[in-house]
Amino acid sequence: MFTHLLDDAALAFENDRPEGRSRDLCRRDAAVFLHQANSTPVAFTMAGMEGVWAEDADGRRFMDFQGNTCHNIGFRHPRLIKALKEQLDVLPFASRRFTSEVAVAFAEKLCALWPYGPAKVLLGLSGSDAVEMALKLAYVATGRTRTLAFADSWHGAGLGAVWAGGRSAERAGYPEFAGCHHVRPYWDTPRETTQSVADIERAARLSLDDIARRLDKTGGFAALIAEPVKSAPCVPPAWFWPEVRALCDANGTLLIFDEIPGGLGKTGKMFASEHFAAAPDMTVLGKSLGGAAVGVSAVIARAGLDVAGHMAIGHYTHQKNPLLARAGLETLAIIGDENLVARAAGLGPWYREELARAVAGHPYFATATGIGFLAGVELSPLACPPEQRGYLLKALQLEALRLGVNAGTALGRFLSFSPPLVATPDELARSVEIVDRLRRFPHGA
């Protein structure tokens, strides 16, 4: 029955773009790119963007509240575009044995922002690069080769990152990268009910027990890598990370926080970890660090971990590329000058309350959750049989896009919203209205 809803949503969507330019482009895309899960083939196009808005090849405008969490400063921020054009005119590249003013200034800025004491930095291009550099550093610093991460987590597509992360479907068929272990995640709440505070507490306790058991029994872990706040969004209780930190300390295991989607103000703090009284040994950043223009990532490590000078940990050709560094530096400046972190902290609770109001008595959604500008509405367990949830969620995601907002899906039960930190209350309200209108789907939303 719910497969039908997905067909209905797809038909309605297609009927709304009669020009067919998107369809043609998607056809050419599928013909020229190697096919791979989640990337090719695709059904949607982008041809323009500004602020929270994007436009497809048929000229249809929508708010992008998913944006792969790359757009904390919004799309095509004028200051960023100006800075990149200036940089292109002056120094778009530096050979690897040469540094530049902008690369050093960017690294200095990252160290100054990190709230956990003296730090040093490695730069990369993708989140996956940063994760792998952090793991390599952890191996060298501890002399150990095992890692711990949450089952069903994602830390990037590189061979090392894909094994360190916990999504088995994404690594099936590749040679095993030994030493990667996975534990029950803190967000593993029961799926047959909506998340209650008690469920969240219990899931976190079970996760902590699993970490404790694994660290004790198996021993010898170089690092535990995890998102401090799951970008689904799921937020663990305040006690969780301090207790994990204590376990890591007791076992000589480093704690790496992956803030690739959740950092840089998204949760209402510059670093999501600042919601918890637990300092990581390293933080990895990416995605929004490049201002939705280029790929930039970083490992920020406590200065005491500068112990691998004899190894080529992140010897990437473009690691200190001045153009990429300028994107990172300008993005950080924009976040600071426009008070975007405070904006997410200030508007986030209102946004969540509005979403909660929109889902009251909703046939599909039961609750709204989130922190800062990471928000989501959770499917009601009564909305459909559990095995149909995937179809229903995809149909609602597609219909939301037709109505004007690109949302994500997460953990098989959330429609997630990760608006740029520059989104206005009106734009946020518009997405709430779309959630409300989804209650009429498939009949004339």
Ligand X SMILES: Cc1ncc(COP(=O)(O)O)c(C=O)c1O
Q: Which residues bind ligand X (CB under 6 A)?
A: 126-128, 131, 154-157, 227, 258, 260-261, 286
Task: Select 227 or 330, whichever has its Cβ closest to ligand X.
Answer: 227
Closer residue to ligand X, CB minimum distance, 60 or 155 = 155
Q: Which residue has the tokens 């608006």?
A: 419
Q: Residue 442 — φ and ψ, nearest 5°?
A: -95, 15
| CB 262, min distance to ligand X, A | 7
Let me know: does 396 contact 363? Beta carbons within 8 Å.
no
DSSP letter assigned to residue 287: G
CB 286 within 8 A of CB 298: yes
User: In the complex, what is the shortest distance from the CB of residue 73 to ligand X, in angstroms, rounded to a whole number?
Assistant: 17
Q: Are strands 254-258 and 282-285 parallel, antiparallel or unpaired?
A: parallel
CB-nearer residue toward ligand X: 134 or 435: 134
Q: How far is the CB of 260 from ligand X (least distance, A)?
A: 4
Q: How far apart are CA 186 and CA 230, in angstroms?
A: 9
Rounded least distance, CB 2 to ligand X, Å: 27
Query: Smallest distance from the beta carbon of 287 to ligand X, in angstroms?
Result: 6
Helical residues (DSSP H) of 306-424, grouped into ranges: 322-337, 340-359, 389-403
**Minimal distance, residue 247 CB to ligand X, in Å:** 21
Cα dihedral 171→176→177→178 (10° resolution): 130
Q: Which of residues 258 and 436 has its CB atom nearest to ligand X in the complex?
A: 258
* 227-231-233 Cα angle (round to 5): 120
| Closer residue to ligand X, CB minimum distance, 287 or 302 | 287
Between 156 and 370, name the residue whose CB sits nearer to ligand X: 156
Q: How far is the C-alpha of 211 from the C-alpha of 22, rounded, in Å? A: 47
Nearest to 359 by CA among 254, 278, 279, 431: 431
C-alpha to C-alpha distances, 201 to 189, 190, 205, nearest whole angstrom: 9, 12, 6
Cβ pair 280, 385 in contact under 8 A: no
Type of residue at 349: P
The DSSP symbol for 367 reads E
Shortest CB 231 distance to ligand X, Å: 6
User: Who's near 140: CB < 8 A, 6+ residues apart?
Assistant: 307, 308, 311, 313
The answer to whether the CB of 192 falls within 8 A of the CB of 386 is yes
Q: In the bound complex, what is the minimum distance in angstroms from residue 430's beta carbon to ligand X?
A: 26
Q: What is the DSSP string of 98-134?
A: ---HHHHHHHHHHHHH-TTSSEEEEEESSHHHHHHHH
> Is the CB of 155 or the CB of 171 nearer to ligand X?
155
With CB atoms as reference, the residue minimizing the distance to ligand X is: 127
Q: Which is nearer to ligand X, 103 or 130 (CB)?
A: 130
Closest approach of ligand X to the CB of residue 224, in Å: 14
Give 131 or 395: the residue with its C-beta nearer to ligand X. Answer: 131
- Structure tokens given for 20: 């067919």
